[in-house]
Structure 1
Amino acid sequence: MKNINNLYWMAALCLLFSCAKQKFNVQADGSQNQKQLQSSPVGDVVGKITVGYQGWFACIGDGSPINAWWHWAPNASQQPSNSNNGIKSWPDMREYTASYQTGFSNLGYGQQAKLFSSYNDQTIDIHFKWMEQNGIDAAALQRFNPNGWEGPIRDAITNKVKIAAEAHHRKFYIMYDVSGWTNMQSELKTDWTSKMSAYTASAAYAKQNGKPVVCIWGFGFDDNNHPWSAAVCLEVINWFKAKGCYVIGGVPAHWREENSDSRPNFLQAYKALNMISPWMVGRIGNINDSDNFYNNSNVPDQAYCNANGIDYQPCVLPGDLQERQRAHGDFMWHQFYNMIKAGCQGIYISMFDEYNEGNQIAKTAENVSMVPSGGNFLALNEDGINCSSDYYLRLTNDGGKMLKGQIPLTAVRPTEPVIGGVI
């Protein structure tokens, strides 16, 4: 009987040890590291391409609540011009039915220099049409503090985005940018419960793991514009999770190391997120930068997320056109290649329509004939390679196909700058 009991306990101990081995890797030095946890299944953000969507342009005379040159000019009460310019890249305006006269000289081919307003229904509809045509799965609609003078137009834009996403079978979700939001902790919750949560009833609102997606951009950044403690940020994250949300964090590039652009002692807040999306604009500007970040940050970031059951959604950016970063698409493609090779769960494109900061993928002036004369705007052919205005949309389409396994992983950009041209 004693021998039988001994055998029973030995079998039980073996089973217990086997279960423990499934959860932990025992290292040679005796330390225990948790094995990779299962990442989320493909949903509306996992396995998908998401673009950051600002929708933050307005013009005097467009009927918007603010009636100003919002984000087009530093003095929003006056037309944008050479002396009042907030624009870095000039949009391709050929498809817009409504446009507004600026103070710039005519375009190189003689047309008047006009700009679009995001408040116009056709503007957002055409942007989502471009997303549909180019395999962009979701748009993260940026929402800054809505309690000031911008609030009414941001509310209006949200509804217009919903309508366009539904019409073009795209997904969207709210991405709160908390930069400079003094009373963020309480007002964010009020805004969600009183206004934004209603949008989750739309079939176009993004769901992941059966939960509505919400992103909070700005927790943990080590500057005066993002002053909250880790405890405050963790409380907000957990509040949204308790409301049944899948929470993405737009976090500093060095979040895992808690240094450089990240505040120290924030790791517990970062770990509470369902998905982590480190900000890369201003961190890389060429292919060598991308490779250095891949080796030193992206690969260990991905490993950390895998070990902690967090989905990883790195940024891919086209590059600042006016800083000549784009290398006719090679810079952006190399990021696609690196992030997919690392095993990312999704990709965030920064940004779709950010003409005022030069990081847009939406249709952009192809050459000097499509920008105001004497305005010093670089066009997509700035390095001598002709590119169609939709080139970065098409490049994003191919990057999405590679993420989804529809084309092989390749370091060589398969997208031609001009259809019918050469790679």
Structure 2
Amino acid sequence: MSPPGDIVGAVTTGYQAWFTCEGDGSEAQCIGGWWHYCPDRLAMCGPKNCGIISWPDMRPYSKTYPTAFSTQGDGQQATLFSNMDDSTILTHFRMMADAGIDTVALQRFNPTGGEGPIRNVTTPRVARAAEATGRKWYCMYDISGWGNMQSELKTDWLSIMSAFACGPNYARQNGRAVVSIWGFGFNDDNHKWDPAACIEVINWFKAQGCYVIGGVPTCWLEGKNDSRDNYAQAYRTLDCISPWMVGRAGNIRDLDNVYDTRNLPDAKELASLGIDYQPCVMPGDLRDGARRHGDFYWRHWYNTARLKETGVGLGAYISMFDEYNEGNQIAPTAETKANQPPEFAWNALDEDGVACTSDYYLRITRDAREMFQGRAEITKVRPTEPWPGRGRFNPPPFVGLRARVNGKFVCAEGGGGHPLVSNRESLGPWEQFEIEYESPTCAAIKTRSGQYVCAEPHHDGQPDYVLIANRPGAGPWETFEVEQQEGGVIALKAHNGKYVQASGDGVLVAKSDAVGWWETFELVE
């Protein structure tokens, strides 16, 4: 296990720093136009030419550039920032410092291709901003589609990046300059290198005195699915392994499954080999409504912090700081639709109805770092409020379900194993449930003893589906649609398309086609 450094024990974020705007001077660098903001960078950024799916909160920036979008609902002109400006990168690094981010992984794509000019312009700006804010940073090569990677990677390091690696704020682990290579072993047409070539590159960087991180497939340990099957030795030649996670989990249940089936086996294997581990942590895809006003991000941090028990040299990698193109950024984002252009149809941070400040995910990062680095309790309950002082946004981990038809609390007799029935006057352990949302309108229901509620057929052959807490995990039969009703109550629809009702004897059954008095429940703390 490596000692604490700029990777092990540290919170790192990926940083694209790849946006340009018309009029920012990028034409002189052979870039020009709206690089990464628009499919056609040389056409004006506007409703018919826009490549981002989250709108930045532009209030923190001193220098901005007008777009062809209409005036925002809050009366502000629709503008965007450029990474060509020193002020933009310094602003980003100040945000990172405020959020407690220790280290920044600057993405570097094939510098001989179209990405080269913007990378060469932003790299010295990043070095200066890191020094000004006390952050560490390192080069993260993305070799996707880089045909001559094996030779050109070395040339780029020797001719350009190695000089930056000598700087005072360039990241070091175990006394060695950090370099990351993302893309070895992925089972697709963009990553076709022979494993021997990858091993040769890793060993070459080690010979240069570098600590080498590998951005590898999710299933690297098994050598299947997104991983090629003959890369075991290549993976184990690395100093640190960082499996990719974006697109691999869309809800909290997925994250828990990844923890059990990927993270824990990964960490145990790497601990036994003396290789460090830098798993990804994601805020969730804002486009798909996965964020659950911070609960998704916090659960990912909670699961990551628990990996320290394995004894592996552990860091954390946030995917990403500024990825407005994919909706998984933690940088300040429009709070509501009024804070973005009216023609911009994508979600704002209040996508599930909960108001969030634009810097909310930076604030979560600050609190998560305290947990990850051992200065705060490892807890499943998110401590960060989406909007401080605007009401209760941290629901308790367990709630009671009170049937509206009889005013009684739903009980899982014995903590599970029996049909749910609404027959209790007060809340005790058997009457408390955890509502695990996997989307804004879809959830599993779990008892305090850890049993999931299932809608399953009556054992006596009756057509109704009865609710019973008897499952160790959640699948389609253990998932319910949650529909908000007038008066602050909810209705639950089971997998059979029927609404759950508290029947005449109080037993909960999924049998109704419409919502009425018997089909509504109140959530009670």
Deviation at 1:106, TM superposition (A): 1.3
2:9 partner letter: G
Contact 1:144/1:177, CA 8 A, preserved across alignment:
yes
- For 1:121-161, what per-residue CA distance to the aligned partner results, in whole angstroms no more than 9, with x for missing partners? 11000000001111000100000000123322211100000
1:176 to 130, 141, 148: 141
- Tell me the residue number matched to 2:333: 364
Give 3-state SS (helix, strand or coil) of 2:297's partner: helix
- Tell me the residue number matched to 1:390: 359
- Tell me the residue number matched to 1:410: 379
CA distance in 2, matches of 1:399, 1:79: 39
Deviation at 1:81, TM superposition (A): 1.7
Deviation at 1:368, TM superposition (A): 1.4
2:25 to 63, 69, 90: 63
Give 3-state SS (helix, strand or coil) of 1:176's partner: strand
1:234 to 186, 199, 202: 199
Give the structure-1-normalised TM-score.
0.90
CA distance in 2, matches of 1:148, 1:276: 27
1:337 partner letter: Y
CA distance in 2, matches of 1:186, 1:375: 43
CA distance in 2, matches of 1:287, 1:377: 22
Name the Cα RMSD after superposition: 0.9
Return 147-156 or 82-91, whichever deviates more: 147-156
1:214 partner letter: V
Question: Which 4+ residue blocks in structure 1 deviate beyond 4 angstroms?
Answer: none
Deviation at 1:403, TM superposition (A): 1.0
Matched, 1:332 2:297: yes
- Tell me the residue number matched to 1:351: 320
2:3 partner letter: P
- Tell me the residue number matched to 2:240: 275
2:150 partner letter: Q
CA distance in 1, matches of 2:325, 2:267: 31
The structure that has the greater radius of gyration is: 2
CA distance in 2, matches of 1:116, 1:170: 22
- For 1:160-196, what per-residue CA distance to the aligned partner results, in whole angstroms no more than 9, with x for missing partners? 0000000000000000000010100000000001100
1:169 partner letter: G
Give 3-state SS (helix, strand or coil) of 1:193's partner: helix
- Tell me the residue number matched to 1:135: 100
CA distance in 2, matches of 1:299, 1:397: 24
Which runs of structure 2 are paired with 1:176-255 in the superposition (5 Å)? 176-255=141-220
Which structure is higher in RCO with an 8 Å CA cutoff and minimum separation 6? 1
Contact 1:371/1:377, CA 8 A, preserved across alignment:
no
Deviation at 1:307, TM superposition (A): 0.6
1:148 to 85, 91, 113: 113
Give 3-state SS (helix, strand or coil) of 2:322's partner: coil
- Tell me the residue number matched to 1:123: 88
Give 3-state SS (helix, strand or coil) of 2:165's partner: helix
Structure 2 residue runs without a partner (length 5+) = 395-525
Deviation at 1:210, TM superposition (A): 0.4
- Tell me the residue number matched to 2:261: 296
Return 78-87 or 163-172, whichever deviates more: 78-87
Return 336-345 or 264-273, whichever deviates more: 336-345
CA distance in 2, matches of 1:242, 1:400: 33
CA distance in 1, matches of 2:171, 2:388: 32
2:45 partner letter: P
Deviation at 1:79, TM superposition (A): 1.6
Deviation at 1:414, TM superposition (A): 0.8
Of Structure 1 and Structure 2, the greater strand share is in: 2
Which runs of structure 2 are paired with 1:42-61 in the superposition (5 Å)? 42-61=4-23
Matched, 1:91 2:91: no
- Tell me the residue number matched to 1:108: 73
Identity %: 58
CA distance in 1, matches of 2:197, 2:22: 39
- For 1:70-92, what per-residue CA distance to the aligned partner results, in whole angstroms no more than 9, with x for missing partners? 00000010122221120110000
CA distance in 1, matches of 2:378, 2:114: 46
Deviation at 1:407, TM superposition (A): 0.3
CA distance in 2, matches of 1:298, 1:331: 16
CA distance in 2, matches of 1:327, 1:297: 23
Of Structure 1 and Structure 2, the greater helix share is in: 1
- Tell me the residue number matched to 1:376: 345
- Tell me the residue number matched to 1:31: none
- Tell me the residue number matched to 1:305: 270
CA distance in 1, matches of 2:44, 2:10: 39
Contact 1:105/1:113, CA 8 A, preserved across alignment:
yes
